[in-house]
């Protein structure tokens, strides 16, 4: 009976020395039963298992899982400890292929330690990074606040974004349910500062759910896709700028040629108005004046105001440039800019200048 007690103590002490690590399994072979039919685990077997565990850095894994945190929030979290980024590799060695990048603001889940390397999962990437490139364990808890980002999720069907706190502030834009935006600072009187499509504003905290989020690694494929998208956006922006430049050049060229038309037309200010006339010196009516001015520049126009309403290209009053033809009900003149036209007005005033909106405008035509 004494021998049995000693053997039971041996079993208990051996098991007490065994350490179970989350995610690991330990297999022990039972020894033959003795004459008292009590299975005995060999002491040497337990020692070899414990030694093997320590050789694979199980001790460090235990330290990771025992981070002192009541909520258990950082038990297996890690944060990047790099100035720019570190490669995530397919195997724990520098010569292995890189499969992603862990940037300086990124978080990760620790999977295991491996002789100076740490296996992590961050975003869609799972691989190995040098251990010194991570904050883990208690260090992760200390540095976690530097990596946390607050994100507002809209809970209202339609939420106003204002330029200040309170409903008296101006509305700068509106956002809808389920949309997510960055919270850029601390709340003031229940209002949160947010960034919405590059626009800063404030939203009422009653209609958002503020969540803590982290940035994660980027896989090699994700980086290639992002770079391709950025290049496409850059080319599109470059094309847009070139288009704007060409349009501006065309407008400038048109304005220059249109101004030449106005400069020529203004030489005849003070000359007489003659019904049915087309002479810039002896007398012309409104349509004859415009027709004769443009004839000097090689542009053939119809004789009457009604026919002129369909020539060239229509433009709005806001788009009007010097030289454009401004047509009214039974009258026509040449736009000078600054809201004025030069025209053959009537027999009393002859050829002169008046405001472009003296009467309702039917259409404005550009023929250059």
| DSSP code at position 298 | T
Q: Based on the number of CB atoms within 10 Å of its own CB, is 189 exposed (0-12), middle (13-18) or buried (19 or more)? A: exposed
Q: Do the beta carbons of residue 197 and residue 146 sit within 8 Å?
A: no
- Nearest-angstrom CA–CA distance, 342 and 323: 10
In this structure, which topology does domain 261-366 adopt according to CATH? endopeptidase fold (from Nostoc punctiforme) (3.90.1720)
Structure tokens at 302: 């119809």
- Nearest-angstrom CA–CA distance, 109 and 111: 6
Q: What is the pLDDT of residues 107-158, one digit of tens each?
A: 999 999 988 999 999 999 999 999 999 999 889 989 988 898 888 999 999 9
Structure tokens at 124: 């869609």
Between the alpha carbon of residue 359 and those of residues 100, 323, 346, 354, 356, the distances in Å are 69, 19, 15, 11, 8
Handedness of CA 33, 39, 45, 49 (dihedral sign): positive
What CATH superfamily is the domain 149-213?
SH3 Domains (2.30.30.40)
Q: What is the pLDDT of residues 25-68, one digit of tens each?
A: 333 333 333 445 544 444 444 444 334 443 434 334 434 433 34
Name the residue ranges covered by the structural domains of the chain. Answer: 2-55, 63-146, 149-213, 261-366
Overall CATH class of domain 63-146: mainly beta
Q: Do the beta carbons of residue 112 and residue 56 sit within 8 Å?
A: no
Q: Give the predicted TM-score (pTM) of the model.
A: 0.52
- Nearest-angstrom CA–CA distance, 172 and 170: 6
Residue 362 has φ and ψ, to the nearest 5°, of -80, -50
Which region among 16-25, 165-174, 232-241 has the lowest average model confidence (pLDDT)? 16-25
| The CA-based dihedral angle spanning residues 181, 187, 188, 189, taken in that order and rounded to the nearest 10 degrees | 100
Please report where in the chains the tokens 């290639």 appear, as a residue. 224
Fold agreement between 63-146 and 149-213: yes
Residue 38 has φ and ψ, to the nearest 5°, of -110, 120
């Amino acid at each position: 009976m004494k021998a049995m007690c000693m053997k039971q103590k041996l079993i208990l002490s051996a098991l007490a020395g065994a350490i179970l690590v989350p995610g690991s399994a330990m297999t022990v072979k039972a020894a033959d039963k003795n004459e008292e039919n009590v299975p005995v685990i060999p002491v040497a077997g337990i020692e070899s298992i414990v030694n093997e565990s320590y050789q694979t850095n199980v001790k460090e894994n235990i330290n990771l899982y025992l981070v002192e945190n009541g909520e258990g929030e950082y038990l297996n979290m890690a944060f990047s400890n790099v100035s720019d980024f570190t490669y995530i590799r397919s195997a724990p060695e520098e010569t292995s292929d890189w499969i992603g990048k862990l940037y300086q603001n990124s978080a990760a889940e620790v999977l295991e330690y491996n002789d100076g390397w740490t296996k992590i999962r961050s975003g869609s990437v799972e691989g190995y990074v040098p251990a010194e490139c991570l904050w883990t364990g208690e260090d992760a808890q200390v540095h976690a606040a530097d990596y946390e980002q607050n994100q507002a999720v809209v809970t209202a069907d339609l939420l106003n974004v204002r330029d200040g706190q309170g409903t008296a502030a101006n509305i700068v834009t509106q956002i809808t349910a389920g949309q997510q935006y960055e919270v850029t600072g601390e709340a003031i009187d229940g209002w949160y500062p947010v960034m919405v499509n590059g626009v800063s504003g404030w939203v009422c905290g009653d209609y958002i759910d503020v969540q803590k989020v982290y940035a994660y690694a980027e896989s090699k494929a994700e980086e290639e896709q992002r770079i391709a998208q950025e290049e496409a956006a850059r080319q599109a922006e470059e094309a847009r700028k070139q288009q704007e430049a060409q349009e501006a050049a065309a407008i400038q060229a048109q304005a220059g040629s249109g101004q030449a038309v106005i400069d020529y037309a203004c030489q005849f200010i003070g000359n007489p108005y003659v019904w049915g006339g087309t002479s810039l010196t002896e007398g012309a009516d409104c349509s004859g004046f415009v027709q004769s001015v443009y004839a000097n520049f090689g542009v053939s126009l119809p004789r009457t105001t009604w026919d002129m309403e369909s020539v060239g290209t229509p433009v709005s009053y806001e788009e009007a440039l010097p030289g454009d033809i401004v047509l009214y009900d039974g009258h026509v003149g040449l736009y000078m800019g600054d809201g004025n036209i030069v025209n053959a007005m009537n027999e009393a005033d002859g050829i002169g200048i008046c405001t472009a909106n003296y009467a309702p405008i039917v259409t404005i035509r550009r023929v250059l």
